Amino acid sequence: MTEPAWLTVLTTTDSEEKARTLARGAVDARLAACAQIPGPVTSVYRWQGVIETGEEWQVLFKTTAERYDELEAHLVAAHDYETPEIIAVPVVRGSERYLAWVSAETAPAATP
Amino acid sequence: MTEPAWLTVLTTTDSEEKARTLARGAVDARLAACAQIPGPVTSVYRWQGVIETGEEWQVLFKTTAERYDELEAHLVAAHDYETPEIIAVPVVRGSERYLAWVSAETAPAATP
Amino acid sequence: MTEPAWLTVLTTTDSEEKARTLARGAVDARLAACAQIPGPVTSVYRWQGVIETGEEWQVLFKTTAERYDELEAHLVAAHDYETPEIIAVPVVRGSERYLAWVSAETAPAATP
């Protein structure tokens, strides 16, 4: 398997409004072709030795491997968590038309 | 990492009924062992230069790499979007029993 | 692409309470750094030749490849399905801080 050309990138935040802002910001900056926000998820994690449970909101971006570093930098800057979840999973197959759309939508806008 | 033998395949449509039809059709045709439909997701994307937000329904299929091309062709034909999202992510580890079940359920039915 | 060092691992069960128990058990045992439980999903699958539809709950774990085998064994033991879904997808990119946190949280606890 060679380096995948497309990725899905997942981040998580603590309100629907922040999830929408992260989604919109990345699509607006052409760092992702689209983003999907499922309903709230229950997160389970350890904090200072105790297992905590909280409600969070995921955002799933579709982008190219080429744009990943810029998307990550954008999310880190836009996020208000100290250590936000940002993980990318490879897209190894896909409809050619859809993947071409992802590439086109994430191409840096031509300067006029 | 070699070519993965199993995949999860994600598509998105604009109603729960259509999501159920896509799920049922692929499982019925043995192109996926199972499909999961989360609740509605909020989709954010650019359309004619404007950022749009809409409600959509995801369908997540579990299948083999061997059956991917047929599943994709089935989804493209069954879908009413012009450029439907169809992306596949590799399964690199998994319970042996479960993956054997996915393979068995997606094996073409023997002709009597 | 080399063997990924981090994974997301998905399992599914039939109640929210069981999903929370699976999530909490794996995090407590340091077999996953965190787990997310989306709302219920509609599952579509074939059972004894008939297509069935049911409500299930997914649990998505974040862990290291190193801890995968132990996480799988834990889930198989904790699960009450005969053939539970346990599948892992590779994390190929991610924020360095977040991935370091996943590694730290899943490191076996030092014996005092």
pLDDT digit string (tens) for chain C, length 112 residues: 456 799 999 999 999 999 999 999 999 999 999 999 998 999 999 988 899 999 999 999 999 999 999 999 999 999 999 999 999 999 999 999 999 999 999 998 765 5
Token pair in block for residue C42: 């509609």
Res B109 pLDDT > 80 = no
- Say what the pLDDT of residue C112 is: 54
Res A111 pLDDT > 70 = no
- Say what the pLDDT of residue C1 is: 43
- Say what the pLDDT of residue A49 is: 86
Res A56 pLDDT > 90 = yes
What dihedral do alpha carbons B91, B96, B98, B101 form, nearest 10°?
Answer: 100
Res A91 pLDDT > 50 = yes
- Say what the pLDDT of residue B1 is: 44
Share of chain C above pLDDT 70, in %: 95
Domain B6-105: state its class.
alpha beta
- Say what the pLDDT of residue C49 is: 86
What is the average pLDDT across B25-40?
Answer: 95
- Say what the pLDDT of residue C2 is: 56
The verdict on a CB contact (< 8 Å) between C28 and A43 is: no
Res B112 pLDDT > 80 = no
What is the average pLDDT across A28-48?
Answer: 94
Token pair in block for residue B61: 């299929």
Residue C91, chain B, CB below 8 Å: the answer is no
Res A112 pLDDT > 60 = no
DSSP run (H or E) holding C34:
strand C34-37
The verdict on a CB contact (< 8 Å) between C89 and B94 is: no
- Say what the pLDDT of residue B3 is: 67
CB atoms within 10 A of CB B98: 23
The verdict on a CB contact (< 8 Å) between A20 and B51 is: no
Res A1 pLDDT > 70 = no
Going by the DSSP 8-state scheme, the letter that residue C40 receives in this structure is: -
Share of chain B above pLDDT 70, in %: 95
Task: Judge contact between A58 and B38, C-beta under 8 A.
Answer: no
Rounded Cα gap, residues B88 and C44, in angstroms: 18
**ipTM of model over 0.85:** yes
What is the average pLDDT across B84-109?
Answer: 95
Chains in touch with C (≥3 Cβ pairs < 8 A): A, B
Angle at Cα B93 formed by Cα C15 and Cα A59, nearest 5°?
Answer: 60
Rounded Cα gap, residues B58 and B109, in angstroms: 27
pLDDT single digits (tens) C84-110: 999 999 999 999 999 999 999 999 876
- Say what the pLDDT of residue C45 is: 96
Chains in touch with A (≥3 Cβ pairs < 8 A): B, C
Query: Chain A window 47-66: which residues touch C at a Cβ cutoff of 8 Å?
Result: 51, 53, 56, 58, 65
Res A100 pLDDT > 60 = yes
pLDDT single digits (tens) B60-71: 999 999 999 999
CATH architecture of structural domain C6-106: 2-Layer Sandwich (3.30)
Res A108 pLDDT > 90 = no
Residue A89, chain C, CB below 8 Å: the answer is yes
